Amino acid sequence: MKKSSLIIISILLVLIAFSIFIYKSKSKLSSVEEDSRNFSFKDTASITKIFIADKEGDKCLIERTKEGWLVNGKYKCRSEAILNLLEVIKNVEVKMSVPKQSKQNVIKFMTSNALKVEIYSEDNLVKQYYVGHETPDSEGSYMLLTDIDKNKNFKDPFVCFIPGFVGFLQPRFIAKENEWRDRVVLNYTPPQIKQIKVTHSKEPSDSSFIIEVINTNSFKLKNFQNKELLFDENKMRQYLIYFQNISYEVLITGKNKKLQDSLSSLKPFSEIEITTIDSKKNQFKFYRKQFMGDIVPEMNIKYSHDPDRFYLSFDQDKEWALIQYFVFGKLLISSSYFTQGNPVKK
Q: Is 21 helix (H, G, I), strand (E, B) or coil?
A: helix
- Do the beta carbons of residue 216 and residue 333 sit within 8 Å? no
Cα–Cα dist 50/127, whole Å: 10
Cα–Cα dist 76/73, whole Å: 9
Cα–Cα dist 245/184, whole Å: 6
Cα–Cα dist 96/111, whole Å: 20
Based on C-alpha coordinates, what's the Rg of the chain? 31
CA distances from 7 to 21, 74, 141 (A): 21, 77, 56
pLDDT of 27 reads 46
**What is the spatial order of strands in the sheet that 281-288 belongs to?**
218-222, 209-215, 193-200, 270-276, 281-288, 309-314, 319-324, 250-251
CA angle 219, 276, 280 (to 5 degrees): 145
Cβ neighbours, 10 Å, residue 258: 7
pLDDT of 346 reads 45
Round to the nearest angstrom and report the end-to-end CA distance of the chain.
120
Tell me the H-state helices in 192-256: 233-241
Cα–Cα dist 274/210, whole Å: 10
- Do the beta carbons of residue 274 and residue 188 sit within 8 Å? yes
Query: What does pTM read for this prediction?
Result: 0.72
Q: What is the DSSP letter of 182?
A: -
pLDDT of 279 reads 92
What DSSP letter does each residue of 94-134 carry, written as one string? EEEEPPHHHHHHHHHHHHHHPEEEEEEETTEEEEEEEEEEE
Q: Is 169 helix (H, G, I), strand (E, B) or coil?
A: coil
Evaluate the CA torsion angle 203, 206, 210, 216 in order and state its sign.
negative
Tens-digit pLDDT string for the chain (346 aa): 555 666 666 666 656 655 555 555 444 445 556 778 899 999 999 999 999 999 999 999 999 999 899 999 999 999 999 999 999 999 999 998 898 888 889 989 898 899 999 999 988 999 999 999 988 888 889 999 999 989 999 989 999 999 988 888 999 999 999 899 999 999 999 999 999 999 999 888 889 999 999 988 899 999 999 999 999 999 999 999 999 999 999 999 888 888 888 888 899 999 999 999 999 999 999 999 988 766 655 566 777 889 899 999 999 999 999 999 999 999 999 999 998 665 555 4
pLDDT of 102 reads 85
Cβ neighbours, 10 Å, residue 227: 9
Element (H, E) at 198: strand 193-200
254 residue type, one letter: G
pLDDT of 25 reads 47
